[in-house]
A and B are shown apart, each in its own frame.
Chain A
Amino acid sequence: MRWAAAGAGGVVLLCWPLLVPPYFVFLTSLIVVNAIVAIGLNLLSGYTNQLSFGHAGFFAVGAYVAAVLTLRAPALPVVATLALAGLATALVGLALGIPCLRLEGLYLAMATLAFGFVVVEAILNLDWLTRGNDGLAVPAARLGPLALGSDAAKYYLVLGVGALMVAAAVNIARTRTGRALLAIRESEIAAQASGVHLAAYKTLAFAVSAFYTGVAGGLFAFVVGFISPDAFDVFLSVDFVAMIIVGGLGSIPGSIVGAAVITLLYDWLAAFQNYRPLLFGLILIGCMLFMPGGIASRMAKWTHQAQ
């Protein structure tokens, strides 16, 4: 039953560009990109309880590395570009994560918030590379002789990478590493007493989270085709946090659902720019007060009752 449902879902996703107009294909690509960020953020915030308000910064690093690589080394296949974007962002994540090991809770939230601002300022100041406020037009991704220019081609690229990232995250969550991260969330002291190396696992979570967000940033650059610093402001970090709050902390399906909900809301409310933050704020408050585990825990409760 479950496999049949998953198979049907897979077939629909594969035929999606044939079924719906290009705009919805583009929107679905964005959902997948945001889902990758949400999974990455959830590995850090949901699994080890290290709240980050700076993931727009990682996202920006990934996007700019991918864009600059594509502009300067057009022969590079897109898979290598994305991997390099992810690795570069993971390095930045390590550089931020290791000193932040000493911080927790509020302090970590503030340090990551500051990191997000610094990244935007850095992009503005490195204008010989990033062209500052003017932004960068990103050429189509290349896979050997293929140029992935159409919405459908970009969609398949995003979908393929997204499937890999989801599979990897599910595997991380199920292994020793995932259990160690969850143990850290429940109680750092108890985890340490059970032989979990706190510093190593928290740093690992930071690096993996940054890697996911960096790859997603690279995909975002290709999907949208144009990046500028104002797209990566602190409100984007807040949107990412909203995705995992709405979806459910510490849940991979929850991350995907949360990313879909926030991305679709964002799109539907495009005509009501002024009301959007109002609604997002109310959603955050409402989730925290009335549905602390997000949609994922709600769904778990329903399926539990159904059985």
Chain B
Amino acid sequence: MAAHVTSAAVIHVVVSGLATGSIYALMAISLVIIYNATRTLNFAQGEMLMISTFVGWSAHEALRLPLPLVLLIAVAAAAALGWLVERLVIRHAIAATHLDVLIITLGLSLVLRAAAGLVWTHDEFPFPSFFRERPIGLGPLRVAPVSLGIIGGSLALMLALAALFRWTRLGRAMRAVAQNQRAARLMGVSVERVYSASWVLAAVVGAIAGVLIAPVIFLSSKMGLVAINGFTAAVLGGFGSMPGAVVGGMLLGVLENLAPLWLPAGIKHSVPFLLMIAILVIRPSGVLGRVRQRKV
């Protein structure tokens, strides 16, 4: 089977793999942002992405707004949703264990998905795209502009995030809380503000990822499932590490797209899960993660 695969085809598959991979990377980043602040996993991340993308789409349908404005509305909706969820639900569970919070976010994901189904039905809708689907020739290669657009947009967002974490006051506070919450509090960092900011930031990253990917996978109440691949990407790169999330996402996207070229087609959907189990079993700290020593 491998003999029939030409190198141009492989490159085409790798590029589209990098495109889906960048979305996984963005999902992984948003999960890691919340994990670093609150040490819990947000099971509702995908559903928050879905809701904010739907809000943007509704604005587009109702008012015929141009796409950049739709993106802005989706981002604003995501920020409001992230803030509300943290303020109304998560903060009340401050005494709960991490697993309890995990179950709360699981409940949230069910609620958000059902609510979206009630408001927008469970059908699939086409979403307008910044980029065209038709492949263009780049020398001997043919790639879809939408793939390049997704990769470019994601990379720009990642650079912006890196700058935020490195150079702004908020970014420094978030890194301090991730390292040691008590020490950060003693240094005058408002840990509560960092919690809020983390949920808002994670939701915003999710909304941008949603607007980028919705034209490709269609807009539907099920699109939140993309977050599961975000988990895998984050685990692959080492949960808690931002560069790891990016590398993990890209790796997962490419592997998922390459696997069907050599393995039976039925396996494609299992690739992320098998990969997740494999990496957790072989190297739970991920490709770039460091092994963490536990203190008694």
Contacts and interface: CB of A to CB of B under 8 A. Distances in A.
Interface of A: 49, 51, 99-100, 102-103, 105-107, 109-111, 113-115, 117-118, 121-122, 124-125, 189, 238, 241, 245, 274-278, 280-285, 288-289, 292
Contacts of A288: 93, 96, 100-101, 103-104, 107
28 contacts: A100-B281, A102-B280, A102-B281, A103-B280, A103-B284, A106-B41, A106-B98, A107-B280, A110-B41, A114-B272, A114-B273, A117-B228, A118-B270, A121-B269, A121-B273, A238-B110, A241-B103, A245-B103, A274-B117, A276-B114, A280-B107, A281-B114, A282-B107, A284-B107, A288-B100, A288-B101, A288-B103, A289-B93
Contact of A124 (B266, B276, B277, B280): B266
A110 B92 contact: no
Interface in B241-295: 264, 266-267, 269-270, 272-274, 276-277, 280-281, 284
Interface in B109-161: 109-115, 117-118
Interface of B: 40-41, 89, 92-93, 96, 98-104, 106-115, 117-118, 228, 231-232, 235, 239, 264, 266-267, 269-270, 272-274, 276-277, 280-281, 284, 296
B114 A111 contact: no
Given A113-B228, A288-B96, 15 more contacts: A107-B284, A109-B102, A117-B228, A121-B269, A121-B273, A275-B118, A277-B114, A281-B108, A281-B109, A281-B112, A284-B110, A288-B100, A288-B107, A289-B104, A292-B96
A241 B106 contact: yes
A269 to B, nearest CB: 11
SS of B interface (majority): helix
Contact of B104 (A105, A109, A238, A285): A285
B90 to A, nearest CB: 10
Nearest to A113: B228
SS of A interface (majority): helix
A115 B276 CA distance: 9
B284 A277 contact: no
B107 A281 contact: yes
A109 B276 CA distance: 12
B266 A285 contact: no
Contact of B266 (A51, A125, A238): A125
Contacts of A115: 273, 277
Contacts of B232: 114
Given A107-B284, A117-B273, A285 B102 contact: no
Contacts of A292: 96, 100
B277 A111 contact: yes
Contacts of A103: 280, 284
Nearest to A189: B296
B102 A106 contact: yes
B256 to A, nearest CB: 13
B110 A281 contact: yes
Contacts of B264: 125
A278 B221 CA distance: 13
A275 B110 CA distance: 10
B66 to A, nearest CB: 33
B232 to A, nearest CB: 7
A111 B284 CA distance: 11
A61 B267 CA distance: 19
A97 B246 CA distance: 29
Contact of B41 (A109, A121, A122, A285): A109
B110 A278 contact: yes
